[in-house]
Structure 1
C-alpha cells in the first residue's frame, strides 16, 4: 500500500512504500528551510537537485547533490535548506 505524506503546509510531500529492502519514501522538497525529526535510522539519497544539510551534532552545513547520500540516526533532528525543488529517496533501517 502506498501512503501519501505531506509536511510544512505542502512544501514537502512524499510517498511511503515497502519493498523487499524495507520501508522507504520518495519525495520532493520545495525551496525553503526545514527541520526534520527521525524515529528510525534514515539513509537519504538525493535523486535530483541539491540540499544543504546540518546533521545532528554538526557545526557546519554540508552540501549533497544528485546521487549523494547522508545518514541520520534514530531519535535525532536535522535541518535542510533547499534553493529549489529537490527529489529524494529516504530508506529506513
Structure 2
C-alpha cells in the first residue's frame, strides 16, 4: 500500500472530523464528559481495529483520548489510515 502524499492527506482531512496531520500521523483528540465515557469509546474503537487488523496508537489522559494513525509497516500514512479515521469518526458519533 502506497504512502499518501501531503496533498492526498490534506484532501482526506477535509472529509474527516477533528483530525490533523502532525508528526507523520493522522491525529484526533476527543474530550469526553467522564473518564469512563472515554474508556468506552476506546473499547469500541479497539474492537473495530482488531477486526480490521489495523490498530491506532491510543493515548488516554483522564477525559481526553487521542488516536494516532500511521501504517508503521509502510512508514507513513496510507489509505488504510484514512479508512480507519472515517470508522473512528463514526464510532465516536
TM-score after normalising by structure 2: 0.35
TM-score after normalising by structure 1: 0.35
The structure that is helix-richer by fraction is 2
The structure that is strand-richer by fraction is 1
